[in-house]
Each structure stands twice: as structure tokens, then as C-alpha cells.
Structure 1
Amino acid sequence: MRLRIFTEPQQGASYETQLTVAKAAEDLGFDAFFRSDHYVKMGDVTGEPGPTDSWITLGALARETSRIRLGTLVTAATFRHPGPLAISVAQVDQMSGGRVDLGLGTGWFEVEHAAYGIPFPSLGERFARLEEQLEIVTGLWGTPGGETYSFGGEHYTLTDSPALPKPAQAGGPPIIIGGTGAKRTPRLAVRYADEYNVPFQQPDDTRAAFDRVRAAYAEAGRTKPLVYSIAQVLCCGRDEAEVKRRAAAIGRDVPELRQNGLAGTPAELVDKLGRFAEMGAERVYLQVLDLHDLEHLELIASEVMPQL
């Protein structure tokens, strides 16, 4: 089981803060540094100094790191047209030497769309746009050199695209699709994804979501392996006082975190992660909400990671 650091910079994090966390995560042996793709803060925080664009940030981090993988959980399909998105992600993949993963989703936070003048269609249309984006992005990356790519859909049309630039990774960066939808999400994951992620669910609900995707996988006759992963908010301490201090710092309640996240001592985390591993989770995205508490990462690296 590999551990990845997952951040929410819209809550209030400069590029410099993200760089510090990414470098610490790399030095401590974590598998990846991921960030959300949001433009407006959530909850009772100021959000200052303001949002940072995910792919501009990851491009800069690509040049400041050397081993750790980089990606989004998840890029909002409402924010960018698929052609320019394919260009941006391919460029960052080149800049990183092939260390990028692309998480792509429908977009869901209506407030940020209103705040920055981004259209926010119905959920059905957002899913339709997401499916076309997945087809286009993977199609552009997969087009052989010297050939062009065209696509005609309900929402996007591409005519004789040169399908450039190509990513460093052959075939393009791995695609991550997440969510717990019962029908559309499994179908899209099986058709397009290299990884399926279940965010912020308890073990029983996670198992049910995994099983739905496994059933769709079998029905489709897919043979290419699919990685199963989870995302959980992190709140670890050597003792109860430290757990409480870290929970208070992110405005959460310890009993609630123990139920809905990864909270408690290192031994408690190892036990709960073992339950997720038994159902097939291979990667864990640790949602770190206090980006100034690097000792939190050090604790996980020294007391949890070696036991996985």
C-alpha cells in the first residue's frame, strides 16, 4: 500500500507553502504529492492568500522535485476545454520526466463557478462533458506521431488536431476517476481510468463502491489492470492529546474523524488501513489540511509507512 499526500490549497496556501510540503513529502518517501482543483475556499477559513491554479502549480513543482509523482484529485472538467487541458498536462508530464497522474471529474462546487464566471450546467450535462473530455484527452495523447485527431461530439468538436505535444509517459499520464456513483462512474472508470478512487467513505461504503466497479469491469470484459485507491482525511498523533491538538487545528472533532477518516495513533491508522487493504485498496491519499504541520508528515513516515 502506497501513501500519497493530498492537499487542499484553496483553503489558504501559497505556492511557497505547497512547494515546502511537496519537497518534504518527497524527502520523507511518500509516493506522490496531489492537490485539489478549486478556486474558492470551503468552510470557516479566510482562504487567503487566494487560490492557486492546479496545473500552473504542478508545472512549477515538476521542476523543483525529482522523484515524487504529481497530480490532481481531481481536475474539474468545467474549468478547461479538453484540448488545452491535454496540452497543459502533457507539458507538465514532460517537465516532470513522466511523473504526472490526471484525476478528472465533473466539477461540483457551484459557488466557485459563480465567483469566477465559469458556466455550471446540470449534473447530467457535466457527466456528458466529462465523458467527451476523457475521450478527447486520451485520444489526443494516443494519436500516433504524424497523424491528426478529430472528434465530433455534442459539446466539443476537434478538427485535424496535430495532437501535440505528447506526454513523456507512453500513451499519456494515468487517468484517475473517483466517486461513488452507482452507474455512470463505474462505466467511465472501466472505460477510461487507470485508477479508481473512493474519497472520504467508511470501509463498508468503500467496499460497496469497489464491488460496483469490479462488476462493471467484469461485464465489460476489460483485461487491463485497474488500481483501486481511497482518500481519507488525516489526523494522527502519538497520544490522545496530540490527536486532539491536530483535530482542533483543522476545526474537526476527534470522534467524528475516527469514524470518517484516518484519526488516532499510528497503531490505529495501521489497523484501519489494513481493513482498506483487505478490500483491495493499493493507494491511500492522505488529505492533509494543516500544511504548516510538517511534523505530522514526519510521524506518518516514521511510524505508519514502515508497517505498510
Structure 2
Amino acid sequence: MEKFNSHNGFVRTFKEDKLTLGLFLPLEAYSGSFPKMDLEEQMILAKKAEDLGFASLFARDAPLYDPTFGEVGFLYDPMMFLSYIAAHTDKIALGTSSIVTTLRHPLHLAKSAASLDKISNQRFLFGVATGDRQIEFPAFKVDHNERGELFRESIKVMKKVWKESFPQIHTKRIEMIQGDIVPKPVLSDIPVFGTGYASQPIEWLATHTDGWLFYPQDITRQRELIKNWKEASGGFKPFIQPLALDLSEKANEAPKPIPIGFRAGYKFLIDYLYAYQDAGVNHIIINLKDSKRPAKDVIQEIGEYVLPHFHSIC
């Protein structure tokens, strides 16, 4: 996408017909609902990931802790935590997967996103979603049935206030006739990635967002979905997916399924990544939560044996 040719996070992470790798925060393996998230250790591992050639670090968003959901999702506010990481790194892209737009005011979101993009020197990749935790909607007094409409409103409003000075906006949540949102992004825009369908047809997402973050599925279905995405986009817009990984110490260990991923040795991981690159996936974000090994060891092994095949673009 030409408009993001000088966006540092975008160009480090995405290139047509090329797959790169990122990591989900926190950079640790843990059981139960809550990660430890030792801040000093997280910053050491974030810098290590950058130096090894991972393209990105992504933080999840869970406005409320729901004990019935199984885990907290992410301990800290993702925007604030990524700002902290921005101060400890130089090049690695910083992404959200994904901010729940339905529960946040679009003008607040626009300002937070523009601030993070500025602070990080244009490294922010803005994943957005409608939300999937049922308890959050009544807590925020948001009608769950309106989530698709609110999602569309958020994207359109943010794109408008990033690009225009003193825009006038009249929507469900906004009556803006004076004032402006500052700072403006350097490029007057930020790469925005819808998550799943977000209650929208694929054509709407292809027109109004800058890439697609979709759930992992078997390669035949993913290949077909990417084909449809490319046709709807009419050009290159990146396709991203997550992957839960329990990397075995045995390089040749065959895969065993785990939720949204697998346990295997690094040799199978390389084959898997090449297959999904061939299917059209541009970026895979690895989640180490269910790893049986310390995150630092897994990050190092992927850096040594896997990243030479799927290194960051720059």
C-alpha cells in the first residue's frame, strides 16, 4: 500500500507474497488466568525479539476481566503498555489485537492511536474489533446488537479526524462542530486492521480498513478466504493470523494440536509457515502462553532457526 510506504511499522512487517513473524505480549508462558508480566524481563525480551528480527509485538485488549472466559487476556491497558515498550525499542512494530472499538469513544481512540504512532516513530499497527466478551456490553451500557454500527462509526471517524483539521462530524456518538483532535499522525493516517468480520461484509472491510486480522483455520479454507480478500481489496492489503505455539526441544517432533495452534519441533514450524506464506498469509503472531518452555528459550530458538526464513522486512 503506497500510502504506508514510509510508515515504519508497516514496512517492517508487510510485503506482498512474504511472511514475517511477530509475538504476542506478554512474552512469557503461564498457566491460569494471570501472567506475571515482570516489566524488566518483558522489556529485555522485547528488545531481544527486535534484535533477532521479529517484525512485531502485539498486545491484546480486554477491558474487563471475566473469570468465566478462562484468562484475563492482557493485564495492562494495551495502548499504555505499548507506549512503554516504544521507549525501550527502536524498530519493532507495535500492534493491538485488537482494541474493542464498541466500548470506547471514537475521539478518545483517535487521540490515543495518533499519540502512540507519534511516540513510537510511526510503528503502530492498529488492530480493531467489535468485542467478544458478553459481560462487557452491559457494563459499558452498550447494546450488543449495535456493535456492527458502532464499529463502522469508529473507523470512519478516526480516519476523518486523522486526516482533516477541524472536521465537523455528526454520528450516533458524536456531535463535533468545534475543536480538533491533535496530534495528527505524520502520514495523516494509521494502518487499521479489522479483526474477523466485525459484523461487516468483506467488501466493507476491504474498502475501509488497511488489512485483515483473521483467526487461524485449515490451509484450504484460509487460502480461499485470502483469495476473496484480495479480490475485494483490488490490491495488496496484508492478511494476518495468530498462532498458539508450544515449541518442542526436539527439532523433529511431529505436530500435536492445541487450541488455535500446535506443539511441534522447529522443523515442522518452518514447513507450516512456508505453506501459509504460499497461501497468502503475510504475518503470523505467535502466542507463547501455552509453551512448556521459558519464553526466552523459545524466542532464541525461533530467532536462530526459523527467522532466517521469515525475517522482518527491514
Which interval holds the TM-score relative to the shorter structure? 0.7 to 0.9
Alignment correspondent of 1:229: 240
Structure 1 unaligned blocks of 5 or more: 245-253
RCO comparison, higher one (Cα < 8 Å, 6+): 2
Alignment correspondent of 2:127: 103
> How many Å separate the matches in 2 of 1:231 and 1:285?
5
Aligned residue for 2:109, secondary structure, equals: helix
Instruction: Tell me which amino acid in the other structure corresponds to 2:131.
Output: G
Alignment partner of 2:84 out of 60, 70, 73: 60
1:167 equivalenced with 2:190 (yes/no): no
Alignment correspondent of 2:266: 266
CA contact (8 A) 1:11 1:42 kept: no
Aligned residue for 1:233, secondary structure, equals: strand
Distance 1:136-1:277 versus aligned 2 partners, 3 A rule: same
Alignment correspondent of 2:194: 177
Instruction: Tell me which amino acid in the other structure corresponds to 2:300.
Output: E
> How many Å separate the matches in 2 of 1:46 and 1:105?
18
Instruction: Tell me which amino acid in the other structure corresponds to 1:138.
Output: K
CA contact (8 A) 1:132 1:156 kept: no
Structure 1 residues 48-85: Cα deviation after superposition (integer angstroms, max 9, x where no partner): 9x831111111111111111110101100133211011
- Structure 1 residue 271 displacement after superposition: 1.0
Alignment correspondent of 1:154: 172
Structure 1 residues 209-266: Cα deviation after superposition (integer angstroms, max 9, x where no partner): 223323323xxxx45x31122211122123189x79xxxxxxxxx7323x84253111
**Structure 2-normalised TM-score?**
0.80
Structure 2 unaligned blocks of 5 or more: 1-18, 28-32
> How many Å separate the matches in 2 of 1:95 and 1:55?
11
CA contact (8 A) 1:200 1:233 kept: no
CA contact (8 A) 2:26 2:37 kept: no
Distance 1:236-1:43 versus aligned 2 partners, 3 A rule: farther
- Structure 1 residue 88 displacement after superposition: 0.8
Instruction: Tell me which amino acid in the other structure corresponds to 1:195.
Output: G
CA contact (8 A) 2:170 2:176 kept: yes
Distance 1:37-1:185 versus aligned 2 partners, 3 A rule: farther
What's the RMSD between the two structures over aligned residues?
2.9
Higher helix share: 1
Instruction: Tell me which amino acid in the other structure corresponds to 1:129.
Output: L
**Structure 1-normalised TM-score?**
0.81
Distance 1:24-1:84 versus aligned 2 partners, 3 A rule: same
Alignment correspondent of 2:299: 297
